[in-house]
Amino acid sequence: MNLDKMIKYSRGEKQADLLLTNARIVNVFSGEIFSGSIAIAGGYIAGFGSYSAKKIVDMHERFVAPGFIDAHVHIESSMSCPTEFARCVLPHGTTTVAADPHEIANVLGAEGIDYMIDSSKDQPMNIYFTLPSCVPATDMETSGAKLGVNDLLPFIDNSRIIALAEMMNFPGVIYRDSEVLKKIENMKKQRKPVDGHAPGLTGRDLYAYISAGILSDHECTTEKEAKEKLNAGMHIMIREGTGAKNLKDLLPIINRQTARRVMWCTDDRHPHDILEEGHIDFIVRSAIRMGLDPVIAIQMATINPAEYFGLNNVGAIAPGKQADMVVFSDITNPIIEEVYFRGNLAARKGKILSEIKKPVPLNIRSSMNVDIDKIDFSIPAVSQQARVIEIISDQLITGQSLIKVAVFENLAVSDIKRDILKIAVVERHKGTGNTGKAFVKGFGLKKGALASSVAHDSHNIIIVGTNDEDMKTALEAVVKMGGGLAAASNGKILADLPLPIAGLMSLQPVKIIKEKLDNLIYISHEFGTSLSDPFMTLSFLALPVIPELKITDKGLVDVAKFRIVPLFVN
């Protein structure tokens, strides 16, 4: 807003647009709650107290807090396009996100980033982006694109790019890869933060990583790990998503001395969790229920990420700040009743009131390049001792073990009784036919197969199954849909979810996506799995930057050793 006008509004020389009276205002600067009125003009907070206003709304002593901020999220993981994502999370009080378009960038490169920026314009929430730093994440997988230093240059001074996204290539930092360091240096010249991603990094390697100017981490899974990083100067983003739930384990690091260096993020949250539980509001409620002071929980959802990212216009209810606010009746259980965005009532009782732009038409290229007939899931038994990926419930990290696998006619096969199933990743970007094949323990399928083109980070097609025939059927369905999820048994597709935007997102409303995903999960449970969200678990088994053992189209990856390792061990 014009400064002259803003000052006149704040001084009461011009009539405000809106006055919220009888409010209990959550002050995230002082940590106090005070009663009063909030004057709003031109979408900004003008001041507190008695003002003349065109419209007066009585809050009836309800609490008013700043709109919530998600410090690290991949919109693609909601499986919805940005417009439908906004429609879904805004009623939960999320008015700002720092979204990393890393997923679509790995498929479509700069074209994917442009799509996300263009399709998220003019929404009734602030959708900012962090610039993908690792496309591809490693050279141990085949991605659809590669973004070097020069590819990122056109984006770095964009006002909606607020940071360099999670630097997953921590070996590249530690061992001083010139390309990696240049990406960091370029962003630091813009005075924008550099986000980290360093699971398990400790000691001198951690110090080297931080010394490069990397300011945050959202991959902590233990109190010890988070404390070491916090003590070394990092900001900690506590993640509570669908695949990774770290809140309970990390809550002990929060006290009055550390709280302002900690914030909330969802990272990856599937539609059913958003619709049934919530978004950042769910994390705030959960933390309060576990004993955290409500105002501290709200600070971590508002002013902390705002200050970290240098978003000086959001994160607090104060003069000159954007009037993004949430309203609720119970500070100990903040269920969002109303959401204001730029001074306008945008959502009430879970229903969006603001007009949402129609999804941007799908004009990006297809990303399915697979010759089904050339894909072979058979595994010749070189020996019986094989490395097996072990799933750890509600975590992105996995274990690994050496197990004697079942062999039939000189082929290593799934062993349903011992829950050792075949898993494969099929390259889908360049038509190479690359197929990584291995075994996984912890899925619990008794029949059928599951396939997905959502497979972090390069998003090749990942398939787990009890037999090769159903794995092939599920793969074929994903390819024919132009990307998506599928469940197959006895040669038939029993459930699917098309994701035609880069094989990651749908143009459909989140409610419809949820219904299809719920059916997929139901069928998966009928197949025998007890995992709460088997497709989220499946998608992260291809991520070769999170320990311990993962699979890509090039084979098994020992993340600690940061190299491809053979499936069989003599």
Query: Domain of 228: which CATH number?
Result: 3.20.20.140
Q: Could you tell me if 99 and 239 lie in one domain?
A: yes
Q: Is residue 322 part of a domain?
A: no
Phi–psi pair at 251, nearest 5 degrees: -55, -35
Q: Parallel, antiparallel, or unpaired for β 126-131 and 161-167?
A: parallel
Identify the pLDDT of residue 365. Answer: 66
Q: Is residue 44 part of a domain?
A: no
Identify the pLDDT of residue 34. Answer: 97
* Angstrom distance (rounded) from CA 414 to CA 103: 30
Rg (CA), the chain: 24
Domain boundary residue among 296, 312, 328? Answer: 312
Q: Is residue 257 part of a domain?
A: yes
Q: Is residue 238 part of a domain?
A: yes
Q: Could you tell me if 378 and 264 lie in one domain?
A: no
CA distances for 432 relative to 426, 436, 461, 553, 564, angstroms: 9, 12, 13, 10, 18
Q: Could you tell me if 417 and 299 lie in one domain?
A: no
**Number of folded domains that form the chain:** 2
Q: Could you tell me if 454 and 553 lie in one domain?
A: yes
Which residues contact residue 462 at a Cβ distance below 8 angstroms, ignoring those fewer than 6 apart? 423, 424, 425, 426, 451, 452, 455, 538, 539, 541, 542, 551
Q: Could you tell me if 107 and 255 lie in one domain?
A: yes
* Angstrom distance (rounded) from CA 94 to CA 65: 12
Q: Cβ of 66: how many Cβ atoms within 10 Å?
A: 30
What letter represents residue 330's amino acid? Answer: D
Q: Is residue 11 part of a domain?
A: no
Taking only the tens of pLDDT, the chain with its 570 residues reads 799 999 999 999 999 999 999 999 999 999 999 999 999 999 999 999 999 999 999 999 999 999 999 999 999 999 999 999 999 999 999 999 999 999 999 999 999 999 999 999 989 999 999 999 999 988 899 999 999 999 999 999 999 999 999 999 898 999 999 999 999 999 999 999 999 999 999 999 999 999 999 999 999 999 999 999 999 999 999 999 987 889 999 999 999 999 999 999 999 898 989 999 999 999 999 999 999 999 999 999 999 999 999 999 999 999 999 999 999 999 999 999 999 999 999 999 999 987 776 666 556 667 899 999 999 999 999 998 999 999 998 788 899 999 999 999 999 999 999 999 999 999 999 999 999 999 999 999 999 999 999 999 899 999 999 999 999 999 999 999 999 999 999 999 999 999 999 999 998 999 999 999 999 999 999 999 999 999 999 999 999 988 999 999 999 999 988 899 999 998
CB 336 within 8 A of CB 277: no
Identify the pLDDT of residue 360. Answer: 62
Q: Is residue 334 part of a domain?
A: no
Domain boundary residue among 263, 283, 312? Answer: 312
Identify the pLDDT of residue 126. Answer: 97
* Angstrom distance (rounded) from CA 442 to CA 78: 24
* Angstrom distance (rounded) from CA 111 to CA 365: 9
Q: Is residue 191 part of a domain?
A: yes
Residue of 248, 328, 258 whose CA lies nearest to 287: 248
Q: Could you tell me if 227 and 107 lie in one domain?
A: yes
The helix (H) or strand (E) run that includes residue 489 is: strand 484-489
**Token representation of residue 91:** 């009623």
CA distances for 153 relative to 26, 130, 149, 204, angstroms: 40, 13, 7, 31
154 conformational bin, left if phi > 0, alpha if psi -120 to 50, beta if neither? alpha
CA distances for 120 relative to 103, 264, 286, angstroms: 16, 22, 29
Q: Is residue 160 part of a domain?
A: yes
Q: Could you tell me if 551 and 476 lie in one domain?
A: yes
Residue of 513, 46, 33 whose CA lies nearest to 318: 46
Q: Could you tell me if 259 and 120 lie in one domain?
A: yes
Q: Could you tell me if 286 and 401 lie in one domain?
A: no
Question: Which residue range is the domain that position 439 belongs to?
Answer: 372-565
